[in-house]
Amino acid sequence: MSLTFGPFVLDRKDRRLNGPEGPVELSARAFDILAVLLDRKGEVVSKDALFAAVWPGVVVEENTLQVHISALRKALGPNLIATVHGRGYRYAGPEPRDADEAAPLPSPNAVPGPVLAILPFANPGDDPDQQYFSEGIAQDIADRLTRFRGLTVIGLDRLTLGAQLRPELDQLHGSIGADFAVTGSVRRAQNRIRISVRLTETATRASIWAEQYDRPLADLFELQDEVSEQVAATIARRLEVELTSRSLRRPPSSLKAHDLTLRAIWHYFCYTRDHMAQSIACSEQALTEDPDYREAMLWLGNARAAGYEFDFDLAAMQQGLALIEKAIRLDPSDSRAFVSLSIYGGVAKGPDASRAAADHALRLNPGDYYAHAQRALVSIFDGDHARARQWLESGSRLTPNPLPWVAIYQYLIGFHEGRFHEVCTGLSPFADQAWQMMYVIAAHGHLGEGDKAKAIVARFKAEGRLHDFFAAAEREPYLHPEPRDRLVAGLKLALG
């Protein structure tokens, strides 16, 4: 029997471990230790029990076991095997499943509940220099809450909320079907932090739980865990929510690394070339402070890989993918990381890899808006526009306002359905991004507007940005040749 856990598959028959990048090299003893820990998931397995299972009848020194545990942590990431001091070891990763009975892909029409909306925390005094921090703290808590099974968590932010950062509870209940809302405020002063949090039932406006915390800033990460566990436990007393262990994510070794990462995320979602460069700079500084900080690693990977969307920079995309994959190894339970893997993995590894990563993101967190949007893009590349529309519709139920770039997917469908005027108009706000402009150029070609297409290319050249749109079109991860042929044909009509 084969077991799947996170991005890994333990194949007992062939005694092989497969990961997101293919076979993972393990010694026979390390493989056996992993199999024992997976079979006894959630239990602490004593060292004597491991010796008896893996080295039956043989006297082995304790440091031999430690060497194999270290090898497993190097292969799987440091957080999947926990040391319980004085007792033994415990598997601490995602729920292992029979590979032949993998969790079904959630339907785009079914969003599991209860639904919990996390709103951006208020920034007392409206200090613009602290906005990234208050928004980032709320998103951190939302990320921790996604670990509780049976709970759909929607982390709302300034992009998905638009101008209305404080929507009414009626709107949350009616537009996205949120059963509960978490609101709060964050004030940081010198070396202390004050967080006020409230959990409200949206239908009745009843306050279920509220608390104010005043702690040293150094306690921030424990405080975030405490808040998320209290929110989940409060809901669990009312509804069927399975409480799991704390997040696998290791907090950074310095608060400066965390602060820089929150800045990096803020710049990333501004999604311009200048802001992306600032996002990269902040993440790199964070990793200088803490080279193993997973969050900084993931967002540096995202920002670097975005170089492909802006300028078809294949080297930057490969660098970004390597960082995203490393972040997944450090925490294979993060759905958002698999969304990133799907976005850029399609170009690097083809449509099957992109689809598998998007599906895995949805299995990890069926309520992840980004996963619904990415599954729509995968469906477009598969040529299934009806399914893509279903995923876009289900995603729209998870947020009051779609992310700006999700509109691109609607225009991508329009391109393949021949609505070329709509494509040229709708994608005009993304004129700085080469990938979107590739479809605009092709649309102009199909419309017989070669002069407009050449003007776009000339503008890029004037900025020193020379793009091979034909090579990029050939890399698009279409499952069937016809959509790619339509794109290439439009480019030829436009550019000759």
The residue among 348, 325, 410 whose CA lies nearest residue 373 is 410
For residues 236 and 2, the model is more confident at 2
On whether both 63 and 151 belong to a single domain, the answer is: no
- Predicted confidence (pLDDT) per residue in 73-113, tens digit: 888 877 788 888 888 998 987 778 776 555 566 667 655 56
136: Cα within 13 Å, side-chain hemisphere = 23
| AA identity, residue 400 | P
Lowest model confidence (mean pLDDT) among 56-65, 269-278, 333-342, 469-478: 56-65
Q: Considering 370, 401, 432, which residue would you say is the last residue of a domain?
A: 401
Number of domains observed in the structure of the chain: 4
Spatial strand order in the sheet of 152-155: 152-155, 115-118, 180-189, 192-201, 207-216
Return the percentage of the chain with pLDDT > 70, whole number.
85
Q: Residue 260 belongs to a domain with what CATH number?
A: 1.25.40.10
Residue 12: what pLDDT?
A: 85
- Predicted confidence (pLDDT) per residue in 200-215, tens digit: 888 888 888 888 888 8
Average pLDDT, the chain: 85
On whether both 264 and 393 belong to a single domain, the answer is: yes
Whether 191 is covered by a domain: the verdict is yes
Whether 39 is covered by a domain: the verdict is yes
Determine the Cα–Cα distance for residues 264 and 283; give it in Å rounded to an integer: 6
Residue 238: what pLDDT?
A: 59
Whether 107 is covered by a domain: the verdict is no
Domain that residue 291 falls in: 255-401
Q: Which helix (H) or strand (E) holds 187?
A: strand 180-189
- Predicted confidence (pLDDT) per residue in 399-443, tens digit: 766 676 678 999 999 999 999 999 999 998 899 999 999 999 999
On whether both 282 and 380 belong to a single domain, the answer is: yes
Residue 245: what pLDDT?
A: 42
Whether 222 is covered by a domain: the verdict is yes
- For the cut 90, the answer to whether the pLDDT of residue 114 exceeds it is no
pTM of the prediction? 0.73
Determine the Cα–Cα distance for residues 306 and 276; give it in Å rounded to an integer: 8
Q: Considering 371, 401, 431, which residue would you say is the last residue of a domain?
A: 401
- For the cut 50, the answer to whether the pLDDT of residue 33 exceeds it is yes
Helix axis angle for 351-364 and 335-349, nearest 10°, is: 170
Q: Considering 69, 101, 133, which residue would you say is the last residue of a domain?
A: 101
180-189 and 115-118 as β-strands: parallel, antiparallel, unpaired? parallel
On whether both 61 and 170 belong to a single domain, the answer is: no
On whether both 164 and 189 belong to a single domain, the answer is: yes
On whether both 228 and 263 belong to a single domain, the answer is: no
**Torsion sign, CA atoms 58, 64, 66, 70:** negative
